[in-house]
Amino acid sequence: MRARAIVNPNSSRGRLARAWPDVHARLQAALGPVEVAFTDAPMAAARLTREALRDGVELVIACGGDGTNNEVVNGFFEPPRPGAPDVRVGEGAALSILMLGTGGDFRKSFGAAGDVDAQVRRIAEGKPRPLDVGRLDYVADDGSPAARYFINIASFGVSGVVDREVNKARLTKLFGGKFTYFAATVRGLLRYRPTEVVMRVDDGPELKLVVNTAAVCNGRYFGGGMHVAPMADPSDGRLEVIVMHDMGLLDFIKDPNAIYRGEHLKNPKVRHLSGARVEARAPAGAEVLLDVDGEAPGRLPATFTVLPGALTLRY
Ligand SMILES: Nc1ncnc2c1ncn2[C@@H]1O[C@H](COP(=O)(O)OP(=O)(O)OP(=O)(O)O)[C@@H](O)[C@H]1O
């Protein structure tokens, strides 16, 4: 099987660049020859993935963090146009992921060990399985309609504010992902006022919900290890929607670990919905920001749709 690794050398604060020769050797020992393409800028991984698939590569291995996974998944499709159907690139090719150390939220959905050898074994020996992909149609920062794919979690509310804080937070990043997100969550909760959002799941009724954060989940974890959707299964053809209502800083401070343990669902201020399509719009004049696999591309209104089994995952 012809394999190519798409590598973000900057991920894990440059650790992947230093570790790459060793990681590459382990991959090749298990899989045979593995071609390599390094990213050189944001969104390069999507372009490099499309190139690989057009070259006839049968297995693309995303090597980096959650941002790299998102971009590689986007590379399995032509860039989506709002309102237009999805166009797959490289029909039949499979995806694998490889992350360094303890980082990475998407990987945690598979509950398996994160060391390089264990991940290489899963890539080499794991049974290929169907992987759902999320599609998000939304409004970009400049006000134009836009679309993009997600693999893990797309959300809005405080989480959208948190993303912008995290991407600014060069200093706290030195303390690791969990601390960065924890600090940014506290700042986001101070800044954000819960907003009444109109949501609709599949053909259900329009629900007017006060939203602190709503997460539309293919995977289970976001925000540096928060176990937001323990019931999510990235192969079941559904999205799980977790809505946190009027929860403020006090709720978070009272038991900040509840969400890391997945126990927030017992809180009456948290609601769980499930479906294949979710629409959300904010009241006129309110800006409710989006988070898509850790990036902050724009704001509501948005439609989240699942593409059941759109990819094949070897992991
Ligand atoms: N060569 C590059 N130079 C600058 N930025 C890059 C480069 N390659 C990728 N990026 C950007 O870096 C962002 C973060 O990368 P990635 O998610 O792989 O690593 P991370 O931040 O260590 O991990 P995580 O997102 O899991 O915390 C990506 O969204 C991507 O757009």
Contacts of 93 (CB under 8 A, 6+ apart): 53, 57, 58, 59, 60, 76, 312
The answer to whether 194 and 212 are in contact (CB under 8 A) is yes
DSSP annotation string for 20-43: HHHHHHHHHHHHS-EEEEE--STT
- Give the Å distance between the CA of 68 and the centre of ligand 1: 6
pTM of the model: 0.93
Ligand 1 atom nearest the C-alpha of 38 is 1
Element (H, E) at 149: strand 145-150
Range 175-199 burial, b when 16+ CB lie within 10 A, else e: ebbeebbbbbbbbbbeebebbebeb
Q: What pLDDT score does 133 carry?
A: 98
Q: Which residues contact 308 (CB under 8 A, 6 or more apart)?
A: 130, 132, 237, 276
Helix (H, G, I), strand (E, B) or coil at 177: helix
Percent of the chain exceeding pLDDT 90 equals 72
**What topology does CATH give the domain 3-126?**
Rossmann fold (3.40.50)
Pocket probe for ligand 1: among 10, 40, 168, 175, the residue whose CB has the most ligand atoms within 8 Å is 10
185 vs 222: CA distance, rounded Å:
12
* CATH 2.60.200.40 domain position(s) in the chain: 133-309
Are 250 and 170 within 8 A, CB to CB? no
Q: Which candidate in 40, 66, 86, 236 is catalytic?
A: 66
Would you place residue 174 in the very low, low, confident or very high pLDDT band (cuts 50, 70, 90)? low
For 247-305, write each residue's pLDDT tens digit: 776 677 677 788 888 888 988 889 999 999 999 999 999 999 999 998 889 999 999 99
Identify the pLDDT of residue 294: 87
66: annotated active-site residue: yes
Pocket probe mutation, ligand 1, options 6, 8, 43, 222, max atoms within 8 Å of Cβ: 8
| Two structure tokens written together for 37 | 């393409």
All CATH 3.40.50.10330 domain ranges of the chain, comma separated, are: 3-126
The CATH class, in words, for 133-309 is mainly beta
Residue minimizing CA distance to atom 11 of ligand 1: 42
Neighbours of 41 (CB within 10 A): 7
- Higher-pLDDT residue of 42 and 200 is 200
